Amino acid sequence: MSLLEILHYPDPRLRTVAAPVKIFDQALKQFCDNLLETMYAAPGIGLAATQVNVHQQIISVDVSEKQDSPHLLVNPTLTLHGAQYAGEEGCLSVPGIYEPVSRAERITVSAANPLGETVSFEAEGLLAICIQHEYDHLQGKLFVDYLSGLKRNRIRKKLQKQKK
């Protein structure tokens, strides 16, 4: 297994819309393991393939304290329920920035696992927020897109400055 390089905002590649996975083979399984490992090492609680410059619909999520209940979701689709709830979010592609974002409180997820088997479950709280956040990445969307233009510009400038 190996660690993958994470792209940082405002890298334009983060805007790529991911394609659905068609072939479930050993290479996919290998990539999923690397994605998960990269996420744990970061450390993060969620990582989308888009963030490591692989533009396929794959996300990894683990919100447990002990980091022992990972979800690897391929070609996920979400149904949103419940009230909107604003929680503070951060992103491995937008390091050091934390801002509140309003999300659905509960979601129903259907996806495939890396073996190609269909999975479907309900999620709420942090897990629901995290899956919505990663799902956005697959659409080329970042959590900073929910903020005001003013805030987003400030964040972009800050990150560009850090990079120099």
Rule CB under 8 A: which residues touch another protein?
42-47, 61, 88-92, 98, 100, 129-130, 133-134, 143, 148, 150-151, 154
134 tagged catalytic: yes
The full length of the chain comes to 164
Strand-strand pairing, 58-61 and 46-48: antiparallel
45 or 138: whose CB is closer to another protein?
45
- Distance of closest approach, residue 23 Cβ to another protein, in angstroms: 27
Burial of 19: CB neighbours in 10 Å, binned 0-12, 13-18, 19+: exposed
Residue corresponding to tokens 């560009």: 160
Q: Which is nearer to another protein, 30 or 84 (CB)?
A: 84
Distance CA 61, CA 104 (A): 17
| Least Cβ distance, residue 12 to another protein (angstroms) | 21
* Minimal distance, residue 76 CB to another protein, in Å: 14
In terms of CB distance, is 90 or 116 closer to another protein? Answer: 90
DSSP bridge pairs for 19:
56
Cα-Cα end-to-end distance for the chain: 31
Catalytic residue IDs: 134
